[in-house]
């Protein structure tokens, strides 16, 4: 038998200077409740939950428990909850499943211009493989969908409308009660991308399918949540199998699903206190940034996620800002929230009419302090002076 090569030390994340992590929209650190549950579930939930022996029955019990917890916290029924391999997979299944179920009514997807790239790619795939169409609806300068434009678009006929709960890049909450009423008036089901919002705010009413992502609330990566309302005209867009859930395929990751449920439960339990603190810190950051020359803060100042703030800086590019702030101890993001690794210009900011270059997104952890915010504000002018021509 060959001997395994010696383990190499793991690379340091973000460089040696990084000490303040401010990119939780990308991923939140594993919540202590998730870590504890995951370690316990690895010993108890490893078996196939379809099997009738004791180990299989225990795994099935844990999987059902995870489904019940998530359902209760996200305002759905246990039989409406499916665990997927990621939030993106849940988005694709939600959008395409509703479109397929409504194909005879209309092959047209209507979505806001600021939807996550997962929704946009699902629309492009639908157009390519099913000869459907996907049309964007404009937003205002703060990122809210224009309800008059949505009404006009749905009046022209649509199979599905896709409207996110909150924008992951600028934090703006969509006017969901009005969105739901508009869609109901035209008898069009709505898909809700709740990946950025789940656990942070209550999910609204009025959706036919929704998606969430566990690693954004402190659960383990690789766990998405698909919600499909009972009675919704949804059909599986991809092949499935004979697993416990007819909406998805593959062996369920029972320990990860249970850890995701534990993290969500903990986050919701502490949400009131954490959200109030984060709102105050973002307000503090927003006020301080208004005093920095040639910096424009974007997004709704009030109707927003509690932990997200995006600002754009004139005469400097986002890649340089991210790199220099990282060198000085701050892990932040730039570019579109869904394509930040490529640092492409943000389609979200473009749709809002905002500056698409030189943008920085800050998203706080539950442990971010006033001192962290004040240090960032004190550091930014020096960074801008160094980078600007």
Q: Are residues 251 and 274 in the same domain?
A: no
pLDDT tens digits, residue range 297-332? 999 999 999 999 999 999 998 889 999 999 999 999
| 302 lies in some domain | yes
pLDDT above 70 coverage of the chain, percent = 93
The CATH number assigned to the domain holding 87 equals 3.40.640.10
Q: How many angstroms separate the CA atoms of 127 and 111, rounded?
A: 14
Position 170 scores a pLDDT of 96
Q: Are residues 240 and 284 in the same domain?
A: no
Q: Are residues 200 and 338 in the same domain?
A: no
| 4 lies in some domain | no
Q: What is the pTM of this model?
A: 0.92
| 3 lies in some domain | no
Name residues whose C-beta falls within 8 Å of residue 383's C-beta, 6 or more positions apart in sequence. 321, 324, 325, 328
pLDDT of 12 over the 60 cut = no
Position 154 scores a pLDDT of 98
195 among known catalytic residues? no
Three-class secondary structure of residue 74 per DSSP:
helix
Q: Are residues 140 and 255 in the same domain?
A: yes
Residue 275 φ/ψ, nearest 5 degrees: -65, -40
pLDDT of 342 over the 90 cut = no
Of the listed ranges 7-11, 65-69, 108-112, 132-136, the least confidently predicted one is 7-11
**Which of the listed residues 242, 268, 294 is the one where a domain comes to its end?**
268
Q: Are residues 26 and 41 in the same domain?
A: no
Average pLDDT score over residue span 278-286:
97
Q: Are residues 253 and 324 in the same domain?
A: no
The CATH number assigned to the domain holding 371 equals 3.90.1150.10
Q: Which of 41, 338, 349, 352 is catalytic?
A: 338
Position 6 scores a pLDDT of 38
**Which of the listed residues 268, 300, 318 is the one where a domain comes to its end?**
268
pLDDT of 102 over the 90 cut = yes
pLDDT tens digits, residue range 143-176? 999 999 999 999 999 999 999 999 999 999 999 9
Mean pLDDT taken over the chain:
92
pLDDT of 61 over the 50 cut = yes
Q: Which residue has the higher pLDDT, 357 or 223?
A: 223
Of the listed ranges 130-144, 206-220, 308-322, the least confidently predicted one is 308-322
Position 242 scores a pLDDT of 85
- Residue 7 pLDDT grade (very low, low, confident, very high; cuts 50, 70, 90): very low
Position 174 scores a pLDDT of 98
Q: How many angstroms separate the CA atoms of 283 and 300, rounded?
A: 11
Average pLDDT score over residue span 267-278:
98
Q: Are residues 124 and 200 in the same domain?
A: yes
Position 246 scores a pLDDT of 87
| 1 lies in some domain | no
Q: Are residues 179 and 42 in the same domain?
A: yes
- Residue 235 pLDDT grade (very low, low, confident, very high; cuts 50, 70, 90): very high
Average pLDDT score over residue span 275-303:
95
| 15 lies in some domain | no
- Residue 18 pLDDT grade (very low, low, confident, very high; cuts 50, 70, 90): low
List % helix, strand, coil for the chain (3-state, nearest 5).
Answer: 40, 15, 45
| 7 lies in some domain | no
Query: Domain of 322?
Result: 20-30+270-387
Q: Are residues 232 and 343 in the same domain?
A: no
| 320 lies in some domain | yes
Buried residues in 188-212 as b, exposed as e (16+ CB within 10 A): bbbbbbbbbbbbbbebbebbbbbbb
Q: How many angstroms separate the CA atoms of 374 and 268, rounded?
A: 27
Q: Which residue has the higher pLDDT, 91 or 3?
A: 91
**Which of the listed residues 207, 237, 268 is the one where a domain comes to its end?**
268
Domain count of the fold of the chain? 2
Average pLDDT score over residue span 346-372:
94
Task: Judge whether 174 and 144 are in contact, CB under 8 Å.
Answer: yes
Position 343 scores a pLDDT of 55
Q: Are residues 304 and 339 in the same domain?
A: yes
CB atoms within 10 A of CB 83: 29
Q: Are residues 182 and 282 in the same domain?
A: no
| 100 lies in some domain | yes
Of the listed ranges 1-5, 39-43, 133-137, the least confidently predicted one is 1-5
Q: Are residues 264 and 279 in the same domain?
A: no
């Amino acid at each position: 038998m060959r001997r395994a090569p010696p383990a190499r030390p793991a690379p340091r994340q973000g460089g040696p200077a990084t000490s303040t992590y401010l990119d939780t929209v990308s991923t939140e650190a594993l919540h202590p409740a998730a870590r504890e549950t995951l370690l316990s579930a690895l010993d108890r939930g490893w078996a196939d939950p379809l099997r009738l022996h004791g180990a299989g029955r225990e795994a099935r019990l844990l999987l059902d428990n995870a489904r019940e917890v998530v359902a209760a916290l996200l305002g759905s029924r246990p039989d409406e909850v499916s665990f997927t391999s990621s939030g993106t997979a849940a988005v694709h299944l939600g959008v395409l499943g509703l479109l397929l179920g409504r194909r005879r009514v209309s092959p047209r997807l209507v979505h806001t211009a600021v939807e996550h790239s997962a929704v946009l790619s699902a629309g492009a795939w639908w157009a390519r493989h099913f000869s459907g169409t996907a049309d964007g609806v404009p937003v205002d300068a703060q990122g809210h969908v224009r309800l008059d434009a949505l009404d006009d678009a749905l009046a022209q006929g649509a199979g599905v409308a896709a409207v996110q709960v909150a924008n992951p890049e600028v934090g703006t909450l969509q006017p969901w009660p009005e969105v739901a009423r508009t869609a109901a008036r035209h008898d069009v089901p709505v898909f809700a991308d709740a990946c950025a919002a789940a656990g942070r705010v209550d999910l609204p009413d009025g959706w036919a399918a929704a998606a969430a992502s566990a690693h954004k609330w402190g659960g383990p990566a690789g766990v998405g949540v698909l919600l499909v309302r009972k009675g919704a005209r949804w059909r599986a867009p991809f092949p499935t199998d004979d697993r416990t859930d007819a909406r998805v395929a593959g062996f369920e990751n029972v320990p990860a699903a249970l850890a995701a449920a534990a993290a969500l439960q903990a986050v919701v339990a502490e949400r009131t206190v954490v959200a109030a603190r984060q709102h105050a810190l973002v307000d503090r950051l927003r006020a301080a940034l208004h005093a920095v020359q040639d910096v424009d803060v974007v997004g709704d100042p009030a109707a927003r996620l509690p932990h997200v703030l995006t600002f754009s800086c004139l005469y400097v590019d986002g890649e340089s800002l991210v790199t220099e702030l990282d060198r000085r101890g701050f892990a932040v993001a730039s570019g579109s929230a869904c394509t930040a690794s490529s640092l492409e210009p943000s389609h979200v900011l473009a749709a809002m009419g905002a500056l698409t270059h030189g943008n920085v997104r800050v998203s706080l952890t539950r442990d971010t302090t006033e001192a962290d915010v004040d240090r960032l504000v004190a550091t930014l002018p020096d960074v801008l002076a160094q980078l600007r021509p």
